[in-house]
Chain A
């Protein structure tokens, strides 16, 4: 009987691995097609700017950045956002009743005064206490919203959506560093789309190790510290292969909360962010898709790999574990809350391809990996391991993971998604991360995911703890 279980388990896992490999190869192929499309459709920055700058048709955008206890970085961050090059935008900073001097600093620095504002509470958020604008003409784009403490970023973002007056909004974190041309490149996809564009995603990257000058990343580099270096590789793989591939068939599963553009109207009609969700960005996008599909409306989703948003990643194991446990809970929430979308042809490629893939290879994978690991220990203890076969299977998985990471570098090299200061050094670090990842980083992530699932099942109260920022290298 044990032997039968052993064989069934071994063949199920082998079949699962083959499916996973096939899925990755398909995504690589799709992302390559998406790149070819980008080559033809995305002109150089100067041309985009030339066509859009002077046109009254260029859509206006609101940039929403919730802030809570950010007194150390708030002024630098707002100044960084203000450097965005775009003809028509407003910046909405939402202060979530910070207990430090965040609000006072903003008032002092930008000469803010309270203004009357007619706010329709279109999406649920904690009450807004006041809206402030600057008396200085230089900061006329800035709107600061002071609201009752909600405790979650989603609540702050919703307050920003309630205040925003433009057709499109970008949701970002106050500590993110955005490229000056980011909005132009993203909006190019909006003006160039024949279907209503409801969301545009950007590439998120680690700012740890980058040199920042006056709120701009002047020297892009792969972090030298251990965990951010692995995360950089993981982010590049996720954005340049997985998400880019899905965007090719209009089935993007996620627009990152770090920097994503949305259609305000559709976001409002689908209820905005869910303040109780642990994965509010995926949740909102799926609700937007549900809304569009249920109303028989056509839509488009896109990812622009050439738009980079730099954010500081967790530098220590403790912070990383906390973040990944939270993400795993978020994924569980998504799977349980949006289960009607899974394998449902009514929701198009997202329903029949992306979400099943997410379920099979991202949700179940940590559980299978853990069970495989335990099974392996049992086999070692009972002396039932065929070592040569085990090495070959392990070798296949290892070489395949290296191959995928090489593809990421190849894509990055072709797309010029990131303007590395030194390509050789950066790729060297990425190769090092590639070689070490399966032994160091991946087991940690698997463990954290399983802990996250367990906490969701036993219903432990989720606490949102912000990452402790060390700050990036700065040059004034």
Chain B
């Protein structure tokens, strides 16, 4: 069963000292390394900062552009991982190990129909 983990940015990315940030990024690197190696993670990426986002809004068939991310900066998506695990319990357990001091992880099953 495939799930996408949508990883939000955390306050630590703005507030933590650069040494602390480096240490956390180190742990994140290890986390990805571990779960890539055992085949849990199918695909994952870190996204560039929310200030680089453009949102396309489509209404009545015509579109306009907005110079900001879809979600509020507080909950802006910082990255994602597609994982392959047995069930929701396994996906939630994995999300709970995401090694950051603060942030949110949305766990959403992939529609594989």
Query: Do A and B interact?
Result: no
Residues of A within 8 A of B (CB): none
